[in-house]
Chain A
């Protein structure tokens, strides 16, 4: 089965806390691509990061970091020192070829309270 699971439906934190959003994927393919998207309350889908299956290097972008581990089929997303503006639904997604469809997880709704 080709599937993305985001087991955390909702997370609530207080500003400045660190928070990790979990993403676990299932696939038998050896080549695949992983993504994170942010959906703020305004509703649009904002691309955050992509990773291909050959690149297990973790990435840091400001307060955001991503941990890709093929051994556990996980692609987790950490926000350091969270801010109210980080409040959104975050989706993890999987694709099998460039140009291929995205398979989304159910999303994790993050609420950051002041």
Chain B
């Protein structure tokens, strides 16, 4: 069964460093998303991406964040200068957004630890 994959599973970085989190969405899906979950808290939306551009973003998704679909399969989230409060689990998701199939499927997540 097709699934969303994410790499790395765990990333440790120092404050101020840039990180890139990678995702491979399900191949026939058209919508891509990033969410984050701070430990023990709810899942929060960061950004959605459709047709090679951002379709929606949250207040969390400030100038330190960017997304890119560099080729036909990968979808990346870049944090330019990490802060301690960026420590969280980051989930990538994708969706067909069709009439009968509009649920989002999530990857296993990347745990980002900023020290």
Interface residues in chain A, defined as those with a beta carbon under 8 Å from any beta carbon in chain B: 33, 35, 37, 43-47, 50, 91, 93, 95, 98-107
Contact = CB atoms under 8 A, between A and B. Distances in A.
B109 A105 contact: no
A102 B108 contact: no
Given A104-B42, A104-B43, A99 B102 contact: yes
B97 A98 contact: yes
Given A50-B102, A102-B35, A107 B42 contact: yes
Which range contains the number of B residues in contact with the other chain? 20 to 34
A61 to B, nearest CB: 14
Contacts of A101: 33, 45, 48, 56, 58
A101 B6 CA distance: 19
A99 B44 contact: no
Nearest to B99: A98
A108 to B, nearest CB: 11
B106 interface: yes
B11 interface: no
B75 to A, nearest CB: 15
A112 B53 CA distance: 43
A43 B109 contact: yes
A99 B91 contact: no
Contacts of B55: 99
A100 B45 CA distance: 10
B42 A99 contact: no
Given A98-B98, A99-B55, A91 B106 contact: no
Given A99-B95, A102-B45, A106-B42, A45 B106 contact: yes
B37 to A, nearest CB: 9
A101 B102 CA distance: 11
B58 A33 contact: no
Given A44-B109, A91-B43, A102 B104 contact: yes
B102 A44 contact: no
